Amino acid sequence: MNVLLNIDENSRVPLFRQIRDQLIHLVDTGSLRPGARLPSTRHLAERLSVNRSTVYRAYQELWSLGYLESRPGSYSTVRRRPKVAAATRGPAPGHIDWTKRASPASEALHAAHRREEALLQKASAPGVINFVPLSPDSRLFPMDAFRRCMNHVLRREGPDLLQYGAPLGYRPLRQFIAERMRLHGVSVTVDEIMITTGAQNAIERLLRLLAAPGAPLVCESPTYARAMDIFRLAGVQIVGVPMTEAGMDLDVLEQVIQRHGPALVYTIPNFHNPTGITTDQAHRERLLTICERHRLPLVEDGFEEEMKYFGKTVLPVKSMDHHGVVIYLGTFSKILFPGLRIGWIAADRRCIDRLASIQRTLILSGNLLDQAALHRFCRTGHYDLHVNRMHRIYRRRMQTAIKALRAAFTDGPVHWTEPAGGYTIWLRLHDVAAAEDEIVQRLLEHGVMALPGSFHFHGAADGTYFRLSIAHLDEAAITEGIRRLAAGIEDLYRRPDERNLS
């Protein structure tokens, strides 16, 4: 069969690729039909004045792509093959109903995230002051110092760092973390620490170790929304214990343990997300005693351990752990760079050994390059300088937020927590008739957004709450944002006829 091809010897496209692409076009457009016989490699090479190996290579690629059938000593013929699926802008019709194929837990998670994404899209609209993000202000990132650290470790250890590493993570960074935890009264060795891909990854690993699907798991109510997502996806039974002004209600906790026999207790004793509450020494001692008595793992999430601004420091529960009951979670995401995704688990050596086996099975090892760069950043003093700077800046921001709240809500139905550190303030709106979605819309009309409290509860909330995060905002934005927040909330409490007049 005669095949008309045009070869451009001056083109940057290799000759074999020109042949291949033109033949593909002829097949896809129907000019060459299934069963059509192509010229031999020798004849086509002579006709195009190219080397026979060029045509041979083009034919080989066509064969590997499924366009040709070829047998030794025989001509190559066009093969019937499905058309290449074209990219589509929207969801393409398909044979699989993903709503039915996806597990119920993942489908529920998808629906919840769609709701969250819709809210975040509205909160990110131009002109809206957004109190939702919990990630630190990227304007404060020490980029130049970290870039130098990354370049240094690449030059010194590049080939080793680009290999697979140990499941526990980069040993020098683990050593630094062990030393850093001693500053917080926690005595751990390098072999009692495993590096994770952030705190969420640490929670997921612990669930694989400790909680089978259907097992009860105890946490505060409200609690960290992302942790609840992980709990739900793991299929565990979430048992919430209400929060008091002092922290988790320990009387209720004892009853829950007796009734449910949970796999673990998950708690955030410092700058609790979302309430901002920090538990005192007596509360921590009693919580530890309860878990020791029941031989129950206590997962202590210290995600903002470094971010204390006011009052006396209370040491982590892990600092009193003489029996290997407490599993401590830490992260660099809230104090440094969220994008590094570096956290850690500090626990009994036997627990860490088992976690290492899970880690190796799932991801082999973490990102050694990032871990080594972070270690260099910490060892050269940049981390301490950055922490001190963050303290100064966020102390002022939190003071600004509290001052603005006091000025905006002198008396009335709005109450809030005054945290000793961290980024979050928990607002409660008493005696409000409006539903949460209506409140969200009213706040958006006033150019401000906070995170609805329902995201932090498993089941129905016991009131109307919103979480304010100052992590992303400077003092001017915080002041103006709270002014707008007060205006929106005040509007909610007006009588309908007053709102119409305004």
The length of the chain is 502
pLDDT tens-digit series, residues 216-260: 999 999 999 999 999 999 999 999 999 999 999 999 999 999 999
| Res 81: pLDDT | 84
In the chain, the percentage of residues whose pLDDT exceeds 70 is: 96
- Higher pLDDT, residue 448 or 71: 448
Exposure pattern of 411-445 as b/e (b: 16+ CB <10 Å)? eeebebbebbbbbbbbbbbeebebebeebbebbbe
CA Rg value for the chain: 30
d(CA 457, CA 239): 11
Going by pLDDT thresholds of 50, 70 and 90, the confidence category of residue 497 is low
Ranges in the chain annotated CATH 3.40.640.10: 141-380
d(CA 271, CA 266): 14
In the chain, the percentage of residues whose pLDDT exceeds 90 is: 85
| Res 498: pLDDT | 54
pLDDT tens-digit series, residues 434-484: 999 999 999 999 999 999 999 999 999 999 999 999 999 999 999 999 999
User: Which H helix or E strand runs over 469?
Assistant: strand 464-469
Going by pLDDT thresholds of 50, 70 and 90, the confidence category of residue 501 is very low
Which residues have CB under 8 Å from 391's CB, separation 6+? 307, 308, 309
- For 337, the token pair is 């760079």
Chosen CATH of 107-138+385-501 out of 3.90.70.10, 3.40.50.970, 3.90.1150.10, 3.40.630.30 = 3.90.1150.10
| Res 332: pLDDT | 95
Pairing of strands 265-267, 216-221: parallel
Q: How is domain 15-78 classified at the CATH fold level?
A: Arc Repressor Mutant, subunit A (1.10.10)
CB-CB contact of 462 with 470 (8 Å): no
| Res 91: pLDDT | 67
CATH number of 141-380: 3.40.640.10
pLDDT tens-digit series, residues 255-270: 999 999 999 999 999 9
Ranges in the chain annotated CATH 1.10.10.10: 15-78
User: Which H helix or E strand runs over 129?
Assistant: strand 129-130
d(CA 288, CA 473): 36
Average pLDDT value for residue range 132-149: 96
CB-CB contact of 168 with 194 (8 Å): yes
- For 121, the token pair is 């899209």
Going by pLDDT thresholds of 50, 70 and 90, the confidence category of residue 410 is confident
Integer angstrom CA distances of residue 215 from 210, 380, 392, 454, 457: 9, 45, 43, 24, 19
Nearest to 291 by CA among 210, 229, 384: 210
Q: What are the start-end ranges of the H helices in 344-381?
A: 349-363, 368-379
Average pLDDT value for residue range 187-201: 96
Ranges in the chain annotated CATH 3.90.1150.10: 107-138+385-501
d(CA 148, CA 450): 37
Give the type of residue at 396: R
User: Which H helix or E strand runs over 161?
Assistant: helix 143-161
pLDDT tens-digit series, residues 7-57: 998 999 999 999 999 999 999 888 999 989 999 999 999 999 999 999 999
Average pLDDT value for residue range 267-291: 97
Sign of CA dihedral 438, 439, 441, 445: positive
pLDDT value at 321 more than 90? yes
Nearest to 237 by CA among 263, 214, 266: 214
Poorest-confidence range of 78-82, 83-87, 226-230, 459-463?
Answer: 83-87
Mean model confidence pLDDT for the chain: 93
Q: What are the start-end ranges of the H helices in 409-474?
A: 436-445
| Res 216: pLDDT | 98
Integer angstrom CA distances of residue 253 from 206, 266, 290, 300: 21, 11, 9, 15
